[in-house]
Amino acid sequence: MLSVHTSPLAQLGGKEAGGMNVYVRELARELGRRNVAVDIFTRSQKRGEPQITEIGANARVVTLRTGPAAPYDKNWVLDYLPEFVGRVRCFADDEDLQYDLIHSHYWVSGVAALELRKMWGTPVIQMFHTLGAMKNQVAKAASWSETDERIVIEGQLLREADAIVAATPLDRNQMIWNYAAQAERIIVIPCGVDTTTFHPTPQAEARAVLHLPKHPTKLVLFVG
């Protein structure tokens, strides 16, 4: 897996650390439990980070020093992708590894994935998580808009990756509407739920924990 601009080990809650980080980490762990070995390659963002971090059976994060060891604007990370790709290749050579599949997350990682495919001949599965064209449609100010370069690269990835993963049918449709993507190349795989963390509890117990009024007081929940 490639998650170049943000690490699955990052502290959640920042601008570049949220749902995608959790998704990548937990997907790797679940694949590992199913005896699929997974290496997640990411860029170092602070000094002293270990290169290899085990996150579960058959799953590890490989942190590579490319560019400044600090948080960096994702658009500028493109400047360091040749170095990143070279370090991924060196790591695989040193460990005598041959990967069966490259699963790239986010558009920046997709660029690296296509370069690695040229070297290895390994199929690329791309997942975007967000799309620049959609973000621009809801941007409240020009400073919030995504770059034209991102839009162009996303279109290239939709054409050239071996397969595309969308989390929902709407995600799939947005790729078709905004990028003229080929529908048959996009596979919808819904995100999973960790039922050890998220599971039903008795309503009375939940209200007590949250210090909410007891039944029969009616409550309205909004999530968005």
Question: Quick check: is 114 in a domain?
Answer: yes
200 located within any domain: no
Between CA 141 and CA 138 the distance in angstroms is: 9
Domain membership of residue 215 (yes or no) is no
In a domain, 32, yes or no: yes
Question: What is the count of structural domains for the chain?
Answer: 1
Asked whether the predicted pLDDT for residue 76 surpasses 80, the reply is no
Question: Is residue 68 a part of any domain in this protein?
Answer: yes
Q: Is residue 9 part of a domain?
A: no
Residue-wise pLDDT for 24-73, tens only, equals 999 999 999 999 999 999 999 888 889 999 999 999 999 999 887 777 67
Take residue 66 and report the two structure tokens written for it: 């490319």
- Domain membership of residue 86 (yes or no) is yes
Q: 43-77 b/e with 16+ CB inside 10 Å = b? A: bbbeeebeeebebeebbbbbbbebbeeebbebeeb
- Does 103 fall in a domain? yes
Position 223 scores a pLDDT of 78
Q: d(Cα 215, Cα 207) in Å, to the nearest integer? A: 9
Range of the domain at 41: 19-194
Q: Which amino acid is at 142?
A: A
Shortest CA distance to 189 belongs to which of 118, 120, 142, 126?
126
CATH number for position 176: 3.40.50.2000
